[in-house]
Structure 1
Amino acid sequence: MSELVDFNEGCAKSPVDGLNPMEPESSLERPSGQDIVPLEASTVIPTVPMELWQRVFTLATRDVGEEAYHKTLFSFRNVSRFWNNAALGECHLWCRLPRIILSNSLSDEDYAAIKQRLILCLERGGSLPISFTFDYQRREEPISLSFDNQYYRHRKEEDLREAFKALEILTGVSDRWEDVNFLIPDDLLVALAPVRGRLASLSRMSYQRRLSLIPCPWGRKTGVSCFVDAPKLKEVTIDTLTVCFPDRDDGASVMFDLPWKQLEVVNAIVCQEDSYMAIINNSGRWLRSLKYQSIQVTTFSSTMINIQSLSTLCLWSEGPPRLLCAHLQCLTLPALEDLDIGGLFETNYDLYPSILLLLRHSNCSLRKLAVDRTSDVSEQLESFVEILALSPRLTHLDIGHLDAFVWSRLELSPSNQLVPELQMITLRGRLAGDLTRNLLPDPFPFMNMVHTRTDGGRPHSHQQDGTVPLIRRLREVRLVGDDRRSRSDQARLYEASERWLRDGRFDIDLSKMIAKWEPSLREDFYPLRQHSTRFQNVHLRLGMNQVMLELEGLDVRDRDTRMLIRLGVIHFLHAISQRPEGCIPGDDIYNFRTRALQLCQKWKLYLLQDFRSSPYRWSYLEDGLFRLQYIDPSSARSEDEDWVDILGCNNQEALGISRGVGPWFW
């Protein structure tokens, strides 16, 4: 018997990504049996009791995330047969199921393999509580294959039946559910009905709606009550608004009936429903966090509501803002620390006076405050400043445009210690089409405020005038914009900030060259689905090649390469190098991905040197999102950390960690 059968426990040899057989066999790179046996014979592994190894495995995987959990477990099993048997015999290691991924592109053999492995994994966990994610990923089909096509309708019905069978396996052990996550179309919700009254262990539930498999009448409403009797349910996340292929939205909605009085955490992103008042009116004394977003909240309570334990309130709505303001004034939340209020309001509304009344009623102090960008701070300055005065422990501030006078009020000094612990500011520009306000702040007052909250970065041991020493904690400012006008404003801000810092290295010529390259890097290398004809556009591909040639001819040795970072050139080059094959027009001829990667590596030394030359470091995160960081010169930052900031991506992308291998191995 081969070692593959040992690991697969008699299942088919198709490798699995989650519980989805999609990865090629060769990519798993399993060691041969000849490699395993000498390793086992030459180590002390068998001399340690199996029970001890099982405890070690349990502790080693306790804090590992979902994506890496089963990959880590497989790595342990792959060391030796002794470790493999130890892992298979420890039920606690099999309480976290691999991600169950189904789709309308799977064959009957795939479905059979997934169900077989699901049953095997449930058996390995014994009778212990389990957590899992059930994900039905509907693959988009050509528009020409309409719902009226009888063949494809029959295939959808077959897929639906297979998905029902997989769900039946899970509902058969619903008494073991502890933490469950469903990403499914509402066609499959009926399969959950049998679990009502059989959820003795369920503590956390998450649901995200997928678009219906079978066409349904516009605006269909589906009720879900199977979780209402779960005695231990504490945390719920519901997303009925975010669906795949929103251009084919069917207007349907899903309504959940839940045990509101016992819930501690509620996260809801909903559409065409008014469940907010049901949550507020029925919430119990345990509710700690409520995050609610809806495009149609038509009613808000005007009666006084007191929720003693609520520390986080995030309320986002397209409903009438005057009703929202009145509702905020009726709330009493003594434990409130995190407040996020916003929506798509057509005009400016006075949210800050309503928030101020809420804080006064509640006698609370905020740590995080986020207010919609349409609420102009400069027109409500008195209320805004008083809110900050009532929140001396505020660390995060997320607001709309501020004028020069407001920035001066935020300067930190011995005589003005407003929110001294502020660590992060997010400044959101005007909405698209609103030309009445600048997107980015007035550079000199803005940089002066940043300097007063960062310079030195450490408390002084004493001050000659005897005042309390300042603790400057600001570490990051994010600037969020919506339209392309932000990019010219951004260059102006960079130039002014360089002059303010007396650096004198702002390279106006390079700025002009970047302005010519940037549209192509942003748009031509990222064709949208509706622009697929660009792949046949010879003139476009020649232009893209010309941009790449000009970049390759750029001599950065005597340039300030920070300009390439700040205006997104490095970010786009890195993103181009990471794109899948066949996604960039002309890449098969001009090797754009390889050349972009080579440019990043060629310039890396100069980029790092210039990036580290100042403690004030600008970086480009994505279109319309820029960041200014203050890095204390005494901090010990690694080259990898700075390179991540330069590329404008997360650690996993920047360090090249492979994401091609799935989290589950058999």
Structure 2
Amino acid sequence: MNYSDSERLNYWLNKAKRNSSSFWTAVTSRTRKTSEKSMVEKSSLRRMIRHSISFDLRLSNRLWSTTRRSLNHEDTLNNYGGSSATRHQHPLTTKFRCAQILMPARIPSEILGLIFLYATEEHKAGGHYSFPAVSQVSRSWRAASLSISTLWNNITLDCQQPAFKSKSYSSIVELLVRRTCGAPLNVSIKLLLPIKLVALDVLLGTSDRWEVASIELSPESVTSFSAIRDRLSSLRRLELMLIGRPVTNKKQYDVFERAPRLQEALIQVSG
């Protein structure tokens, strides 16, 4: 008859209870009579104690073997430094060690990276993606996030907002560009006035790496994009929103004319 691991575990636990109960009953009974018995009885008592200790050791090994099969973590323990001395421990200790291995802090950086990317994609789909904060949680999370270049390749620049005009934001853009390590970029730019910004210059300087670009501009601000002319070699998707008076000179938009890999373009005009 075949028994499951849980049934074998329950069997040995119950046997341990019965053995412990009968042993201590016998010890109590014999202790009362020790003063009246001969040295032979004392020797018999010592043999009983040694037998019980030996049984407990065998029982412990059985419990360890059954628990290990139930948890199916023998290889994991070995991989995390489980020596022969540490493996032969109490089953509860073993279960605690296994729980430690599965703690979030012990998740490999590669798995953490996949989780971060999945969460990032969800934010992108909802249109609420912002600067990643996972690098500020812990040392291990920071190491994992910095190793993933595509986690930093979404850069937004709204030139109408005061925060984006500050020098500190230009430093942020430069930092994001460095962390992408040459990966394709997804950029979102809103520029309705022809103003000079360091952050904009930094971002326009990476136009040959733009894969997705969402640009909102006016006829007056088109000239600010002259630096990207003939430098859209990686662009696959373009979302262009033109805001302001009707376009009279279409030539001023020729900065987007050469994009050899362009697959999708969405152009909206709002007067």
Q: TM-score range by the shorter chain?
A: 0.5 to 0.7
Q: 1:91 offset after TM fit, Å?
A: 0.4
User: For 1:205, which of 223, 238, 241 is the aligned residue?
Assistant: 238
In the alignment, structure 1 residue 183 sits paired with structure 2 residue 216: yes
User: Equivalences for 1:62-101 in 2 at 5 Å?
Assistant: 62-64=121-123, 65=125, 67-70=127-130, 73-74=132-133, 76-97=134-155, 99-101=156-158
**Matching residue of 1:53:** 112
Q: Secondary structure at the match of 2:241?
A: strand
User: What amino acid is the match of 2:266?
Assistant: T
Identify the residue that residue 95 of structure 2 maps to in structure 1: none
Letter in 1 for 2:129: Y
Correspondence for 1:120: 175
1:234 is matched with which residue? 263
**Stretches (4+) displaced over 4 A:** none
Rounded to whole Å, the distance in 2 between the matches of 1:188 and 1:58 is 34
What is the CA–CA distance in structure 2 between the aligned matches of 1:119 and 1:80, rounded to whole Å? Answer: 23
Work out which structure has the larger RCO, using CA pairs closer than 8 Å and 6 or more positions apart in sequence.
2
Q: Pairwise mapping of residues 445-484 of structure 1 onto structure 2 (< 5 A)?
A: none
State the partner residue of 1:221: 249
Normalized against structure 1, the TM-score is what? Answer: 0.23
Query: 1:231-310, aligned counterparts within 5 Å?
Result: 231-240=260-269, 242-243=270-271
- Higher normalized helix content (fraction of residues): 2
Distance of 1:125 and 1:134 partners within structure 2: 18
Secondary structure of the structure 2 residue equivalent to 1:86: helix
Unaligned 5+ residue runs, structure 2?
1-99
Q: C-alpha distance in 1, partners of 2:108/2:101?
A: 17
**Residues 1:186 and 1:111: Cα distance change in structure 2 (over 3 Å):** farther
Counterpart mapping for 1:365-376 below 5 A: none
Instruction: Give the aligned partner of residue 133 of structure 1.
Output: 188
Is the contact between residue 183 and residue 210 of structure 1 (CA under 8 Å) also seen in structure 2? yes
Matches within 5 A, 1:647-662: none
CA distance in 2, matches of 1:68, 1:81: 26
Kept in 2, the 8 Å contact 1:45–1:82? The answer is no
Aligned residue type for 2:109: M
Specify which of 162, 169, 173 is matched with residue 106 of structure 1. 162
Quote the offset at 1:125 in angstroms: 0.9
Percent of matched pairs sharing the same residue: 22
Q: Tell me, what secondary structure is at the counterpart of 2:202? A: helix
CA distance in 1, matches of 2:187, 2:114: 22
1:129-528 equivalent positions in 2, closer than 5 A: 129-136=184-191, 160-163=194-197, 165-211=198-244, 220-223=248-251, 224-240=253-269, 242-243=270-271
Deviation at 1:110, TM superposition (A): 4.1
How far did residue 229 of structure 1 move? 2.2
The answer to whether the 8 Å contact 2:240/2:266 transfers is: yes
Secondary structure of 2:195's match?
helix
| 1:447 equivalent in structure 2 | none
How much does 1:131 deviate?
0.7
Cα 1:178–1:46 shift into 2, 3 Å: same
Q: Is the 8 A contact 1:57 1:87 kept in 2?
A: yes
- Letter of the structure 2 residue corresponding to residue 199 of structure 1: L
**Alignment-mate amino acid for residue 87 of structure 1:** S
Residue 70 to residue 204, structure 1, CA distance change in 2 (3 Å): same
Report Cα offsets for 1:48-105 as digits up to 9, x if no partner: 322231122223333432633336x42x4454332133112310111222x32121x6
Rounded to whole Å, the distance in 2 between the matches of 1:115 and 1:181 is 19
1:121 Cα deviation (Å)?
A: 1.0
Could you report, residue by residue, the CA deviation over 1:10-39 in whole angstroms, capped at 9, with x for unpaired residues? Answer: xxxxxxxxxxxxxxxxxxxxxxxxxxxxxx
Contact 1:111/1:162 (CA < 8 Å) preserved in 2? no
**C-alpha separation in 1, matches of 2:172 and 2:126:** 18
Deviation at residue 43 of structure 1 after TM alignment: 8.4
- Taking the aligned partners of 1:52 and 1:88, their CA distance within structure 2 comes to 14
- Which letter does structure 2 place at the counterpart of 1:58? L
Distance 1:198 1:110, change over 3 A: closer
Q: Deviations over 1:641-663 (max 9, x none)?
A: xxxxxxxxxxxxxxxxxxxxxxx
The structure number with the bigger radius of gyration is 2
Question: CA–CA distance in 1 between the matches of 2:179 and 2:257?
Answer: 29
- For 1:79 and 1:115, the matched residues in 2 are separated by 24
Matched residues in 2 for 1:205 and 1:45: separation? 39
Q: Give 1:176 deviation, angstroms.
A: 0.5
**Gap change, CA 1:106 and 1:62, over 3 Å in 2:** closer
Equivalent position SS for 2:196: helix
* One-letter amino acid matched to 1:221: N
For the Cα contact (< 8 Å) 2:170–2:199, is it kept in 1? yes
Count of paired positions: 170
What is the Cα-based RMSD across aligned positions, in Å?
Answer: 3.0
Distance 2:233 2:159 in 1: 27
Distance apart, 1:198 and its partner CA: 2.1
| 1:106 alignment partner AA | P
CA shift in 2, pair 1:118/1:58, >3 Å: same
Secondary structure of the residue that 2:235 maps to in structure 1?
A: coil
Where 1:205 maps in the other structure, the secondary structure is strand
Q: Mark the CA change 1:84 to 1:206 in structure 2 (over 3 Å): closer, same or farther.
A: same
In structure 1, what residue type is equivalent to 2:194? L
Q: Sort the Cα spacing of 1:171 and 1:51 in 2 relative to 1 into closer, same or farther, 3 A.
A: same
Structure 1: 5+ residue stretches without partners: 1-40, 139-158, 213-217, 244-666
